Amino acid sequence: HASEAHRTDLMTITRFVLNEQSKHPESRGDFTILLNHIVLGCKFVCSAVNKAGLAKLIGLAGETNVQGEEQKKLDVLSNEVFIKALVSSGRTCILVSEEDEEATFVEPSLRGKYCVVFDPLDGSSNIDCGVSIGTIFGIYMMKDSHEPTLEDVLQPGKNMLAAGYCMYGSSCTLVLSTGSGVNGFTLDPSLGEFILTHADIKIPKKGKIYSVNEGNAKNWDGPTAKYVEKCKFPKDGSPSKSLRYIGSMVADVHRTLLYGGIFLYPADKKSPNGKLRVLYEVFPMSFLMEQAGGQAFTGKQRALDLVPKNIHERSPIFLGSYDDVEEIKALYAAEE
Ligand code: AHM
Ligand code: MG
């Protein structure tokens, strides 16, 4: 009985990834071990976010608690947890975090073959008011296992082996792609396990929602302005689109993935490269979008073809439903 199987035969994220990896005869479980450490970080951050209001973890950086220890801000704490979990996995070599100016090179005795780029807690403006925030990550394989250099992480997004995010929202949801589709897992707090709840996510071919910070409109370029105008006042008789904008990339992208539509963080006159970071925001989300049947475009090219020159580089990004991104591509092509 299928329904009974659902209740007793739990597809945890570890089991799921082990199944996937078993298709690769050369795999020795290293990826599964790495992922387990990422999952540990996500569970920790989830629990810290849930307790944040109560435990006064928020906004107290610099202050001391009763034990005389310094209280850490949630984003600083999350970063430390991920760095320590990733290093101790023994499977990583280079770590790039939004929180750290410099990349972390893992000491030789703990070194593995993977590079992880991540934003431990994205959506900082939403932390203090309890709105959804998330962790974003991407995984590369070292080019060669000799001396690691920054070149190992300054690779185009299409070279990523895996990417994902975890959203700390009304439930804790981890969305992952290892390059063969996209799957979503929800944390069962009573088990402490992520259970497969969204198998093989495909983004609708066309959506009814656009998602952008319209407060920046006065500084937009022509194609972005034209596109948003079309969303509001379509000339072809199609219905106008709804606007949804949380200001938390993970939440805005998650909704876009499930409901369809487009998420935009364009260039503007004040920030000619947009706001979002190539390595740990734009690439992982673009990887997931493509794996779900959508597209990701920078205004000039396929986002995953970008080759970043430095680890904190930014890029404009338009991502979401295939047809919607096709429209913005056409507007940029007409500009040239
Ligand atoms: P952060 O890394 O400081 O949290 O900034 C990234 C966030 C994204 O989650 C979100 O898409 C974007 O910034 C929102 O920016 P804005 O407030 O300019 O609309
Ligand atoms: Mg961020």
CA of residue 80 to ligand 1 center, whole Å: 21
Any ligand 1 atom below 6 A from CB of 268? no
In angstroms, rounded to a whole number, what is the distance separating the alpha carbons of residues 286 and 149? 24
Q: Which residues contact 255 (CB under 8 A, 6 or more apart)?
A: 209, 211, 244, 246, 261
Proximal ligand: closest to the CA of 263: 1
Encode pLDDT of 66-109 as tens digits.
555 555 688 999 999 999 999 999 999 999 999 999 999 999 99
CA of residue 113 to ligand 1 center, whole Å: 31
Q: What is the largest CA-CA distance in the chain?
A: 65
Proximal ligand: closest to the CA of 266: 1
Proximal ligand: closest to the CA of 126: 1
Any ligand 1 atom below 6 A from CB of 242? no
- Quick one: which atom of ligand 1 is closest to the CA of 263? 11
Specify the pLDDT at position 144. 74
Long-range contacts: 78-84, Cβ < 8 Å, 24+? 78/41, 78/44, 78/45, 78/48, 78/120, 78/121, 78/135, 79/120, 79/121, 81/41, 81/44, 81/45, 81/120, 82/38, 82/41, 82/45, 82/118, 82/120, 82/135
Encode pLDDT of 252-279 as tens digits.
999 999 999 999 999 999 999 999 999 9
CA of residue 227 to ligand 2 center, whole Å: 25
Tally of CB atoms within 10 A around 333 = 9
Strand partners for 139: 116, 162
- In the chain, the percentage of residues whose pLDDT exceeds 90 is 82
pTM over 0.90: yes
CA-closest residue to ligand 1 atom 18: 213
pLDDT band at 4 (very low <50, low <70, confident <90, very high): low
Any ligand 1 atom below 6 A from CB of 122? yes
Q: What is the DSSP string of 222-249?
A: HHHHHHHHHHHS-SSSPPPPEE---S-H
Any ligand 1 atom below 6 A from CB of 128? no
Q: What is the DSSP letter of 159?
A: G
Proximal ligand: closest to the CA of 278: 2
Tally of CB atoms within 10 A around 225 = 15
- Quick one: which atom of ligand 1 is closest to the CA of 122? 4
Q: Is 330 exposed, middle or buried (0-12, 13-18, 19+ CB in 10 A)?
A: exposed
3-state secondary structure of 139: strand
Any ligand 1 atom below 6 A from CB of 253? no
Any ligand 1 atom below 6 A from CB of 213? yes
3-state secondary structure of 154: coil
CA of residue 223 to ligand 2 center, whole Å: 25
Q: Which of 300, 262, 304 is nearest to 282 (CA)?
A: 304
**Which residue's structure tokens are 């991920």?**
82
Q: What is the DSSP string of 88-102?
A: HTT-EEEEEETT-SS
pLDDT band at 16 (very low <50, low <70, confident <90, very high): very high
Cα four-point dihedral sign 94, 111, 165, 327? positive
CA of residue 13 to ligand 1 center, whole Å: 28
Q: How many CA atoms lie within 13 A of 136 on its CB side?
A: 27
Per-residue burial over 263-287, b if 16 or more Cβ lie within 10 Å, else e, is bbbbbbeeeeebbbbbbbbbbbbbb
Q: Which residues contact 205 (CB under 8 A, 6 or more apart)?
A: 260, 293, 321, 322, 323
CA of residue 318 to ligand 1 center, whole Å: 14
Any ligand 1 atom below 6 A from CB of 249? yes
Provide Rg for the chain, Cα atoms: 20
Where would I find the H helices in the chain?
A: 2-8, 13-21, 30-55, 74-88, 222-232, 249-259, 283-291, 322-335
For the segment 312-332, the average pLDDT, to the nearest whole number, is: 98
CA of residue 206 to ligand 1 center, whole Å: 25
Q: Which of 184, 168, 102 is nearest to 135 (CA)?
A: 168
CA of residue 245 to ligand 2 center, whole Å: 16
pLDDT band at 6 (very low <50, low <70, confident <90, very high): low
Q: What is the DSSP string of 55-84?
A: HT-TT-TT-B-TTSPBP--HHHHHHHHHHH
- Quick one: which atom of ligand 1 is closest to the CA of 265? 11
For the segment 316-323, the average pLDDT, to the nearest whole number, is: 98
Mean pLDDT across the chain: 92
CA of residue 332 to ligand 1 center, whole Å: 24
**Which residue's structure tokens are 């799921």?**
16
Specify the pLDDT at position 67. 53
